[in-house]
Structures are given as structure tokens and as C-alpha cells.
Structure 1
Amino acid sequence: MKANNRTIRFIAVSAFIFIFSLTLSAQEKDVLMTIAGENITKAEFLNVYYKNNIKGEPIDKKTLDEYVELFINFKLKVKEAEALGMDTVSDFVKELAGYRKQLAQTLLTDKDVSEKLIKEAYERMQWDIRASHILIRVDNNTAPKDTLEAYNKIVKLRNRILKGEPFEKVAIEASEDQSARDSEATDKRPAMKGNAGDLGYFTALDMVYPFENGAYNTKVGEISMPIRTAFGYHLIKVTDKKPAMGKVQVAHILKSLPKNATEEQVAAKKLEADSLYQKIKEGESFEEIAQKYSDDKGSGAKGGVLPWFGVNRMVPEFIETIAKLKINEVSEPVKTIYGYHIIKLLDRKPIDTYENLYPELKSRVTRDPRSNLSKDVFIARIKKEYNFSEDLNKLKPFYTIVDDSVFVGKWQIETAKNLKDTLFKLADKVFTQQDFATYLFNHQGHRVKENIENYVNAVYNGYVDETCVNYEDSRLEIKDIDFRNLMKEYRDGILLFELTQQKVWSKAINDTVGLENFYQTVKHNYMWGTRLNASIYICKDVKVAKKARSLAAKAMKKGYPNQYILDKININDPNSLKIESNFFSKGDSEIIDGIEWKTGISADKNIEKDVVFVVVHEVLQPEPKGLSDVKGLVTAEYQNYLEKKWIEELRAKYPVKINKDVLSTIN
């Protein structure tokens, strides 16, 4: 199986599945037919039938008989593929495993949680939030003692703010997010004014999920409790919450401020911006002023136009100004850290409907760490269903036998050779310390050093989660009838595709001798009607037509080519005469249809400004079309022929028995 055929095969397999998908029923035991030794019940057949027809409608005998034949043919092809061992080929096994993995993924998370996360994201997208934060850094590798110390530290900062200290002052003084404070210029970056913790505006999916939760669950003006993220502990102060801006496109004119601008320089830039704004108010073109005077040369060359953006892409002052503008309205100069802007709102796209955004939201939520919530709920359900139990005391020995060598991939499993107690149980399976040691050994590698206890705990939790998921995965075919049947459908569909490709489709295309021989037997099904071998002369006036007719008559006798006539007439004007030669059937050309079909030269006909006549070289009687003219049609017919012969061979090879009594009960 070639990788570049995967997409084509998937589409074809899906088509086969749609037509021939099977759903087993334990309630119906009547054997309708036996195909190559396999009993097919009435229920199985009806489930196939009703997937492609409306249940409850009367079944007419002709339709039923046709469907029976299709079903038998399908089953015979699958049997032949199995007999040829195609279901054991490594490429087939690998491809089927790939399909199974894709299908299983949708069943190994909690769908309700996933849907709630998508809905939550959409509901939050209806609002834009502006917030400030204070950060005390703690990463996932920090020891419990240090984590507690960081938590107590940020609680003290919160208490200072609640007692009246300005949030901004505390952020500048204590936040470990360096952007809160002014920074001096270095070789790699310019000087930057601190933001005092102000993160500007954002919306759902712009921030890590715990921070987003904290922001959306905190009222405007209030201070959150400490929020833990992968970066550490945060205090969040929500300073604004307003209906979503969506996406906007604006044009702007910038008068930029120099580094460390003095008050005089700021005042001078303000005067420049005010002057440009006045020009616009008096009717001068915004676009021309942007091109001439904007210090943002990139957008200035385009009349000031910026790419489309959302709230998290611009400084807050920019966003607040846009929110007040109508389409094509121009703002007064607005000061930001970059300078003074004159902003023109060009267009706005509101948040789309939930239905339209759903695919994008689903994809973003799935890629976002918040999707782990769905997995966590799923694993919790698995643990409950299969009576998961663990003895965490048996994990403690690993805190001492695992050392820093594990962070360079050199920890030796022999250090755990005496650890054989049970760590946890799932259903009827027991997982020992030795099992975990093997997992730990196989998953070590080069990574940043961290607290050993934290590392062992994290690896253990990952091991437990992976074990739970794998156990449920191994039972999908047992627990989920739809999954089991869909896997069977994919399996049979892939086999059918591959064997049909070999026996019919590829053979019809590659067997040129066979195709030619088949064409000879069916070519009279592909006939030309009466045709003309003719040339249409298009002359720019009567004078040219007269000369062209004379030359055409001479050419018919002497066998001169068209180019001979064109060279004679188009000496001074290449458009004096045009000649279109071809084999024409009825309906190909109104001009041809309008003349008498006999050899010779037709009368002149005025068409718009041109004078037109036709030279009929030959009247061709009906004859078979050449293979090259109808190759696609003949190839399709050849494929049908090959499939028919193949089915005849399969019917002769494998016995098929239909229980007429049971068949007669289907109505």
C-alpha cells in the first residue's frame, strides 16, 4: 500500500462502508444466507439494508433482490481477500491500526466535558477583559516547601492591596513578571516602559486556562485569590470587561516618540498629530496624509492600513479608542507607549455564530491544555468502573533509589530489583513496583533536573493514567458494539478496496493489450455520426472573401495547405483572414450546421462585420470512434466487464446458499 494513495483509499473505503456496513444483532438468529461457510442472519442483512434505505417503508421484491446480490458480491470479495492473506500484510495491519487509533481517540475522553469546554470558550468570547496581574514564580518542579513559601508570599501581597496599597505599586515592587517594571536598553532590545502589571485586553483562549478562569470569574475592580498556573501564582485585578470587539481593520497615522522623550518632545509630537488631525477634519485624504507623514512607514505606504486584528494584538489605549468609533470614523490623536496615533476604523467582524465557529473552537480546545480536564474526568470514571486501588506508601522507596542520573537517561533499573510489592490494581490486573520501575527506566531521558519526589510522582501519575487509558482501549471492541462494527467495516472496506484495485481498476488501466482487445468488441457502441472535414473562412470584408474563395478553390484542386492561402492574403493585415479547420459533427458549429453537407465551397454569409464561407473537404460517413477518443468510457466499461467476470469466478469458487423461506419474510 502506497502512502500517497491513503486519501483516495480512505474515501473509497468510506463509500464501501456506507453501502455495506454491518450491525450484528443478538436478538435475530434466523439464517438468511450462508456465504463461503459463514452464516448471515436476517437481522444482519436488514441492518445493512436499512442503513441505505428508509426504515418502515415497504420493501419491493425487485429492490430486495438487487440488494441481496450486492451484499453477496461484497461478502465474496472480502472472503477472497482473506483467502489471499491480504488481512495479514504488514501495510494492511499498520493502516488498520492507524484507523483504529483515530476512532478510539474520540472514545477515550469525556465527551460531555469536551463539549462544555467548547461552549464555555464561545460564551467567554462574547466578552473582552482587561486585567493586571502580579506573579510569584513557581514551576512544576518546585519542591512542596518552596511552593508553600511562594503561596504565602503572594497572599501577603494580596493583603497589602486589600488594606489600600495600589495594585500597580505592589506590582512594580514585587511582581516577578519583569514587564511590570521599566527596563533599560541592552544590546538585544530597546528600553521599555513597565506596564505595572497591566496585560491589556484579551479574550477566551488567549491566556492559559487557569488564568483565564481567574480573570473571567473575578468582578471588575476586585482582586482574585492566588491563581496557580505553570508560571506560578498570580493575583489578578480585572480593570474592564466589555462586549467583544471581534476582529477589526483600521488605518492609523503615527507620530512616534523618541526614546526617553522629554516633556517638550512629547508636546511637540502632540502638536504634529493635532495638526494632521485638523487637516483630515478639513477634508484632506487620510490615506495621503498617512503616506506623507506617518512614522509607521510600513503601514503608511498602504495609506495607514493595518492587518486585521483582535483585542490581544494592540495596546489598551488603541482598543478603547476603536470601541468608540463607527465605520470610517477618525479618532482624535491617542497617546500610547509608541507615540500619538490617529485611528480610522475601516471594518469590523463581530464574533461569528456558535455553529460556524464550532470546528475552529473544537480544534483550539483540543490543542489547549484545558482539554486535559476531559481526559481527567474520563480516567476518574475508568478508575471507578474497574475498582482502581493504590498503595502510595509503596511509591516512597523510589524517592531514594532514583537519583539525578535519571535526568541524563542513565538511571539503572537494578537499583529497584528488590521492589516487588503491589503498587495499584485495576480490574483483575495487578501492577507492581517492578512494573513501575520498568516504566520509569524506559521513560527516562535528558531533561532539566528537578526535585526527585516531584519527578517520581509525576511519572507515576502518568503511568497510572496511561495504564487506565490503555486498559479501556483494549476493551473497546468488547464494550462498544458500534466501535466493534465500525472497525469491522473499515477492515472489510480496506480489503475490498485493495483487491478491487488489483483485480479491476488498475488492471483496466494498465492492461493496454486487454483494453485494446476489449475495445474491438465494443467499438460499435461508440460511433461517430456523419461528420464534415471542413475549413471555416472568416474574412474581414467582401473583397477579402472574393480573393479567399478563389484561392480556396485552387487549393482544393492542388492540395495546398491553409497556410498557403493565409500567406497570400494576410500580407499587410494579419487579421484579414482567419481559417478554422476541424472535423465537425452536428451541433459543433452553427456555421457548419447552416450549410449544405456536401463537398465544395458554401455561399458567403455575413456574420456581424465578417464575411464567412465554408470549404467542405470531405463528408465522413458514420464510423467507430478511435480508442483515444473514448478511452475513459471504454476503460469504465472494461472495468465493469472485469468485475462481472471476477464475480462469476468467485461465485463458482465459493458456495452461496439463500434461505428462501427466511427471505420471504422480509417485507
Structure 2
Amino acid sequence: MINFNRMKNMKTVFSLVTSVLLSSSMLFAQFSFDDKTLMTIGDEKVSVGEFMKVYNKNNTQTAYENSSIEEYLDLFINFKLKVKQAEDLKMDTSAAFQRELNSYREQLAKPYFVDETVNEALLKEAYERMQKDLRASHILVIVDEDAPAEDTLKAYNKITEIREEIVNGLDFAEAAVTYSEDPSAKDREEIPGKQSFMPGNKGDIGYFTVFNMVYPFETAAYNTPVDSISPPVRTKYGYHLLKVTDKQDAMGVVQVAHIFVALRPDASTDDSARKAEKINNIAQKIKEGMTFEDAVRKYSEDRGSIANSGKLSKFTCNRVVPEFVEVINTLDIDEISEPVKTRYGYHIVKLISRDTPGTFEEEAPHLKERIAKDLRARKSEEAVISKIKTENGFKVYEQAKDEVFQLIDTSVFNAAFVADSLKMMAGTVMKIGKEKYTQYDFARYVEKNQSRQEDGNLKAYLNKQFKGFVDEMCLAYEDKNLENNYPEFRDLMQEYHDGILLFNLTDKEVWSKAVIDTVGLEKFFDGRKDQYMWEERVDATVYEIRDRDLAGKVKEIIMKYDSDGDIALALEQDSIKKLVNIKPGFYEKGDNEYVDQTGWETGLSDQINSDVENLVVFVKVRKILDPEPKKLDEARGLATADYQTYLEKQWIEELRKKYPVTVNDKVLQKLLTKQLNK
């Protein structure tokens, strides 16, 4: 029996294979033609593909034309000739060239070490978070980020037990006072002559928004519902518990003015009552008609802001006490609050300005900058490193790693470890692709990155160092192979290589030479004086008078004296020189609109009134000058540019003799036909 389903599947497969074969043959034909030699420059062959790659990148036309390709061919040949000479002169081996090229490479390589998917997610996350301000309390159990496992576990168990107590009914603020190792949670007792009493915050750290806290803490806070307790959160400071107590729309960047009545933290009940009465009386006076600014000057105890009508510098939610954030969110611009009590005393607040977050498009550039400088940027780098490891068969040799760990002692904590003591250790500790990294390589990394610090757990320290070593070597391996892995990067680097050579050699042979070679420039100019001519000109002075009422008086002075010096002296004696601008010179047509209005007749012009300002102009034409050759100093800019063009033309002719150019007309015609048929 015939299996029709099988026949159908086979026909589908055959159809796909045929399609692939046909496509492959077409691609092969294209590759084959791209590999054809279009031209030979000296001993260097240039393929169709190489030429078209450069042409397509620089050609802005939407349609191909034979003329455009043929014109570009000549430019391309000149470009290749100059680069070839520069390479023959070994200009690309100089230290200065290598430094410049490497500096460009460093910038061009950056996008290859960023995971755009991760970065885009971080950008959207940051924008979403900046829409809200959070208020939270925390409890901290300190443990060093390099602490040994047993110390880390001890801290984790402690924070977990505290959380269980809170979940079972212990008040979070009470737990913070009892257990938190953040000193601000507890009252600071008075020490006479040294420090005053300061009440503790009981774990309350106030309001904050995106970028105000370390990233793991921020993430835990935004992921914790209001009035809920977070799981233990690990940061570089230790383990935290968070309780989010409020979540509100972002306050943004705010400026306020305030009237302040100070209250000591340890104030008595009577003092508190007296201060409360004072602030309430001030508030009442404002309601009865006293201006806020007058109340500031008369009653505020904030000496630093009185001179500025009580205005404070602009701030965000994390820069002020929580009570300020809460009252600001109830105010409109120029609205004045009721009295507000903070840990510092009493305030009456006036909202001056408020800038809330803009659109995603408006905020994105600033957020990208903040992300790049923040710890969260490591997420993108970690994704890149993970990809490098996966694609290149990354492997760690644990035995060799343990061996070198055992031979590095606590001298690293004094920055005294010397890697050469392990110079003979050649065991492979890790491998990326075909690259192997030895125990001695790791020892040198440790020596380079050690710093003085308190003695800690050596194994934990070395594990951290090894992670840094792995990350650095992975990134260095990828950087080393960028040109091999990414053809577009290789092409871009070749462009920069050739571009720098072209600039440097053209500067030497043309631009700077035309400026430095004064004898050559003079000879070039003397042989072409008829190309640098003055058109018909007038010897004239323009007198601009910035007060029409003075026009008659100034005209009398101009008519009385022939010399501009004498005219200026007479104007100064009449104390009106500052209102008259004297502009003598030789003017061609089009140089000055007022000179053009004289009809180029000698003598003093009629009064010319500006139609857009209080300005009167007279023009005195002394002489009409016939066309004449310019002196070199008068035409130096134009003559120098022409001399540069002359030098470049001569240089190209010399290069074409030195490196004969042969264009394969058959291949060129085929290329032109193919492009026109696209």
C-alpha cells in the first residue's frame, strides 16, 4: 500500500532542498562576483565586494546610476592610493597612531559589552519606579559582603528569627529599636559638652525613590506591598528587613519656603506648648492678611533662609523629613500649609515650584546616565559575561584553583603579596575558547588588585578575587576577538584605521604643507595673480549714528573735516563719540548695504534712515577704485586653499605613477549592469 502522507512529506522536503540549493547557488554566484578583482592598485587587488561595501555606505542616492558609480570609483582609487602610501611609510606603526586608533576602538567596542535587552528592561523599570515615592522602615543585621559562609549564615538566621517575631505580633518599630544594628534606630543619649540628645528613628528611613538606595534594597522596597514585611534582603551592608509604610505619586523636584520655629528634641512639655502656640499665632496672622514673606522676616527662626523670603534649595523626597513630603503633596503652587511638626520643630510651608517626572522619552536620556553609573549596570555586564562563557566553552579547573589559593597568604590584606613568588605555577585555572589562564596569571591579578584592609576570611577574599579575574578575562577575550566575531566591527575599525592614515598623510602632504611652504605659496600665487582680483571698489567711510536727533550735528562735523581722525576727535569733544560708529574701508558691491545705497558717487551721501531701529547713516565716498590684483596677504585664505588643491592634484599624479592603477573594465561593466538592473 502506498503511504500518501509519506509521499506528501517527501515532496515537501524535496521542495525545501531544491529551494535551498537554488538559493545557495544564487548566493554562491553573488559571493563569486563579489570576490572578482575590480582593480589593482600597485600590488594590491581590490574586489568588487570591497568597493561596493564602501560605495553603498557613502552613497546617499536611492537609485543607482552608472555616472555616480564611475565618479565614486575615481574618489575610491585616490583614497586607496593615499592609504597605501601611508602604510608603506609605516605610519600605522607609530605610537601616536596606535594610541589614537585604540582610543577610538575603546569607544566603538562599548556597545558589544552591553546587553540591550537587560538595559531596556532596567530603563523601563527605573522609569516606572520614579513615578512613585516610598516610605519604609528597616532593620539591619550587619555582615561583611566578604564574610565567611558561617558568619553569613549566622546573620541570615538572626534576621529570619527577627522577622518571625514581627510576623507573630512584635511591633516593627519596637523590633528596630531592640535588634537593628543601624545606629540611627536608637536614641542618641546626651553627652554633656560632646553631643546633644537625638531621638532614634525606630527604623523609619523616610521617603525615597529610584536611585536613592542601593539597588537590592530599592528592588525589595518596590516589590513589597504597603504595610507588609519583606523577606530578608542582602546588600553590601548586611541583611535587612523592610516594612513599606507608604506609597504615593512622585513628589518630583520641589522648592518651598518655610517659616520655622525651633524645638529641641528634649524639650519639656511647657516648651513644646509655648512653641506650638507661637507657630499657631503666626499662621493666624497670615490668615488675617499678613504676607508670608513679612511673616518670614518677622518670626522665622531659620536664619539661613530669612534673607531669601524663607526659600530653601530645591530638593527631592529623600532629602527632607517625611512630614515635609506629606504636606507638600497636599499643596498647590503658592498655597500655604497649616503648621507642621517635625523632629526639628514647627514649620509653615509655602509651595513655590514642583517638577514631577516627565514622559518616558523626556526622562530616558537622564535615566540611562544614572543606570550606567549605578550598581544595577552590573546586570547588563553579567548577562554579557554569561553569554561569553556559554559561547566559548568556559571552564574552571577547581584543583588548580585550590592549589594556588593555598599558596596565597594573608599578606594580601596588607597589600604585600608578591605574585612572582608563584611564578613557576603553570597549572591551568580556567579556559575560554582556546585560551588558557594559569595559576600565575591569577596570582598577578591578585597582586594588582590587592589593597590594605582589615584581616578577613582569606578564602572568601580569594573567591571574590577569582570572580573578578574570571570576569576581566572573559571581557578581555571577547574584546580580543571582536574583529573575528563581528564583521561589521572589523569593517568599522578598518574605516577608522584608513581614515586616520588619510588625515595624517594629507595633513603632511597638503594642508600643513600649504601653510608652512611660504616660498611655494608665493610662487603659486605670483603665477596666478589674475585669479585673485579686486572688483571695482570705493574708498569710503560709513558713519552710523545711534540717535537720530544728533544727525544734523554729526553731519556738520563730517563735512567740516576730511580726516576720520579729526572727525573722531571733534565728536569726542562734543561728548557724542560713543553714539557714532566710524567704519572706514574699501568696499566692493555687496559688502555694505549703506555704501550700496549711495550709487557709488563721490562725496557725502544723503541721510540714510534705518527702517527698523533708531539709526541714521552717512557715507563719505572718497574715491572709486578700478579693479586690481590683490596682494598675497589680501588673498591668503583663498590662495592657500587653491594651493592645497594644486598640491593634492600633484600628489595624486605622483601616487598613480608610483602605484599603477588597472581597472578591470569587463568586471566594471558587469557591475554597472547588475546595479542598474536592481
Q: Does 1:136 align with 2:141?
A: yes
Q: Which of 582, 587, 592 matches 1:584? A: 587
Deviation at 1:601, TM superposition (A): 5.0
| CA distance, structure 1, for counterparts of residue 32 and residue 333 of structure 2 | 65
Q: Does 1:451 align with 2:457?
A: yes
Q: Structure 1 pair 281/533, CA: closer, same or farther in 2 (3 Å)? A: same
Q: Which amino acid aligns with 1:99?
A: Y
| CA distance, structure 1, for counterparts of residue 90 and residue 151 of structure 2 | 62
- Over the matched positions of the two proteins, sequence identity in percent amounts to 46
Q: Which of 110, 121, 125 matches 2:130? A: 125
Contact residue 535 and residue 614 of structure 1 kept, 8 A:
yes
In structure 2, what is the equivalent of residue 326 of structure 1? 332
Deviation at 1:145, TM superposition (A): 1.2
In structure 1, what is the equivalent of residue 343 of structure 2? 337
Deviation at 1:422, TM superposition (A): 4.3
Which piece of structure 1 moves more, 438-447 or 651-660? 438-447
After the TM superposition, which residues 374-413 of structure 1 pair with which residues of structure 2 at under 5 Å, given as runs?
Answer: 374-411=380-417
Contact residue 171 and residue 180 of structure 1 kept, 8 A:
yes
Instruction: Provide Cα deviations, 1:387-444, integer angstroms capped at 9, x if missing partner.
Output: 2233434433445433222222333557757866543333334444444344434544
| CA distance, structure 1, for counterparts of residue 247 and residue 54 of structure 2 | 55
Contact residue 250 and residue 308 of structure 1 kept, 8 A:
yes
Q: Does 1:469 align with 2:475?
A: yes
Q: TM-score when scaled to structure 1? A: 0.87
After the TM superposition, which residues 201-350 of structure 1 pair with which residues of structure 2 at under 5 Å, given as runs?
Answer: 201-350=207-356
Which piece of structure 1 moves more, 201-210 or 571-580? 571-580
Deviation at 1:479, TM superposition (A): 1.1
Contact residue 537 and residue 625 of structure 2 kept, 8 A:
yes
| CA distance, structure 2, for counterparts of residue 210 and residue 577 of structure 1 | 68
Q: Which amino acid aligns with 1:642?
A: L
Contact residue 140 and residue 230 of structure 1 kept, 8 A:
yes
Q: Structure 1 pair 576/263, CA: closer, same or farther in 2 (3 Å)? A: closer
Q: Structure 1 pair 574/347, CA: closer, same or farther in 2 (3 Å)? A: closer
Q: Which of 203, 206, 210 matches 1:200? A: 206
Deviation at 1:114, TM superposition (A): 2.4
Contact residue 417 and residue 447 of structure 2 kept, 8 A:
yes
SS where residue 387 of structure 2 aligns? helix
Deviation at 1:288, TM superposition (A): 3.3
Q: Aligned pairs, how many?
A: 636
Q: TM-score when scaled to structure 2? A: 0.86
In structure 2, what is the equivalent of residue 101 of structure 1? 106
Deviation at 1:580, TM superposition (A): 5.1
Instruction: Provide Cα deviations, 1:572-599, integer angstroms capped at 9, x if missing partner.
Output: 5546995654333334555544445444
| CA distance, structure 2, for counterparts of residue 297 and residue 380 of structure 1 | 57
Instruction: Provide Cα deviations, 1:213-257, integer angstroms capped at 9, x if missing partner.
Output: 111111110001110100000000011111222222222222222
Deviation at 1:72, TM superposition (A): 0.9
| CA distance, structure 1, for counterparts of residue 430 and residue 608 of structure 2 | 96
Contact residue 568 and residue 577 of structure 2 kept, 8 A:
no
After the TM superposition, which residues 504-515 of structure 1 pair with which residues of structure 2 at under 5 Å, given as runs?
Answer: 504-515=510-521
Contact residue 128 and residue 244 of structure 1 kept, 8 A:
yes
| CA distance, structure 2, for counterparts of residue 162 and residue 221 of structure 1 | 12
Q: Structure 1 pair 26/203, CA: closer, same or farther in 2 (3 Å)? A: farther
In structure 1, what is the equivalent of residue 506 of structure 2? 500
Deviation at 1:483, TM superposition (A): 1.3
Contact residue 126 and residue 210 of structure 2 kept, 8 A:
yes
Q: Which of 650, 654, 660 matches 2:659? A: 654
Q: Over the residues paired in the alignment, what is the CA RMSD in angstroms?
A: 3.1
Q: Structure 1 pair 287/651, CA: closer, same or farther in 2 (3 Å)? A: farther
Q: Structure 1 pair 542/174, CA: closer, same or farther in 2 (3 Å)? A: closer
Q: Structure 1 pair 625/291, CA: closer, same or farther in 2 (3 Å)? A: farther
| CA distance, structure 2, for counterparts of residue 429 and residue 69 of structure 1 | 44
Contact residue 201 and residue 312 of structure 1 kept, 8 A:
yes
In structure 2, what is the equivalent of residue 517 of structure 1? 523
Contact residue 569 and residue 577 of structure 1 kept, 8 A:
no
Instruction: Provide Cα deviations, 1:28-55, integer angstroms capped at 9, x if missing partner.
Output: 2122112222222222222222223357
| CA distance, structure 2, for counterparts of residue 549 and residue 393 of structure 1 | 100
| CA distance, structure 1, for counterparts of residue 609 and residue 423 of structure 2 | 103
| CA distance, structure 2, for counterparts of residue 550 and residue 421 of structure 1 | 99
In structure 1, what is the equivalent of residue 378 of structure 2? 372
SS where residue 32 of structure 1 aligns? strand
In structure 1, what is the equivalent of residue 178 of structure 2? 173
| CA distance, structure 2, for counterparts of residue 127 and residue 369 of structure 1 | 21
| CA distance, structure 1, for counterparts of residue 116 and residue 446 of structure 2 | 31
In structure 1, what is the equivalent of residue 165 of structure 2? 160
Instruction: Provide Cα deviations, 1:235-280, integer angstroms capped at 9, x if missing partner.
Output: 0001111122222222222222235222222222222222222333
Q: Structure 1 pair 341/75, CA: closer, same or farther in 2 (3 Å)? A: same
| CA distance, structure 1, for counterparts of residue 568 and residue 441 of structure 2 | 90
| CA distance, structure 1, for counterparts of residue 166 and residue 369 of structure 2 | 39
Deviation at 1:136, TM superposition (A): 0.4
Q: Structure 1 pair 339/621, CA: closer, same or farther in 2 (3 Å)? A: same
| CA distance, structure 2, for counterparts of residue 150 and residue 418 of structure 1 | 40
Deviation at 1:346, TM superposition (A): 1.8
Q: Structure 1 pair 590/414, CA: closer, same or farther in 2 (3 Å)? A: closer
SS where residue 664 of structure 1 aligns? helix
Q: Does 1:478 align with 2:481?
A: no
